[in-house]
Chain A
Amino acid sequence: GEDVEQSLFLSVREGDSSVINCTYTDSSSTYLYWYKQEPGAGLQLLTYIFSNMDMKQDQRLTVLLNKKDKHLSLRIADTQTGDSAIYFCAEFLSLSGNTGKLIFGQGTTLQVKP
């Protein structure tokens, strides 16, 4: 089946690290993504990782991928109030003919307290 699961809510203190977790279903997914959505806005691509990688770091963001457990995580270091948003995990599911679609989780609402 096509199902990406995330916890719905996370609350952290400003300056702490945030870790958002995600599990996906398709072991053949080639790319996995993290998007950020602020109220009333579209999706901002934060980072993505190719399936042959275990880790990717980009400034304050660290993505860890465990293919065996189909588990993806996003760590935000030194979380700021501006990081408050909904974070979506998505897997790229291949269709026929070298195309595909994104399957999204329900999103994790990150609340950052000052």
Chain B
Amino acid sequence: DAGVTQSPTHLIKTRGQHVTLRCSPISGHKSVSWYQQVLGQGPQFIFQYYEKEERGRGNFPDRFSARQFPNYSSELNVNALLLGDSALYLCASSLGSAGGELFFGEGSRLTVL
């Protein structure tokens, strides 16, 4: 069975641009969460989506947005990129919304120049 898949794996953008990152959860999983991992730190929570609705939002500016599609895949969008947005963006997949097994993808590494 395929695990959590994320695309693209690497990308380079310049300040002010926008980016769309994609995530496909494990088959049957209805919850997708997004995390940002800056180099040398633990991941920080950005969003949780469950059954296509936003269920939680971390302390990130409105430049960050996301959505979940009917097939439970998800997109994370970041507008007006700043140098500080350079990070590994991780998607996590779970069956439900309240914990249990939480599996991560390999991440999308974003570099903002």
Which residues of A are in contact with B by a Cβ distance under 8 Å?
Answer: 4, 30-31, 33, 35, 41-45, 48, 88, 90, 92, 94-95, 97-107
Contacts and interface: CB of A to CB of B under 8 A. Distances in A.
Interface of B: 6, 33, 35, 40-45, 48, 50, 55-56, 58, 88, 90, 92, 97-107
Nearest to A98: B98
A45 B98 contact: no
Nearest to A45: B103
Contact of A31 (B42, B58, B99): B99
A30 B42 contact: no
Given A88-B42, A95-B55, A104-B43, A43 B98 contact: no
A109 B14 CA distance: 32
A101 B102 CA distance: 10
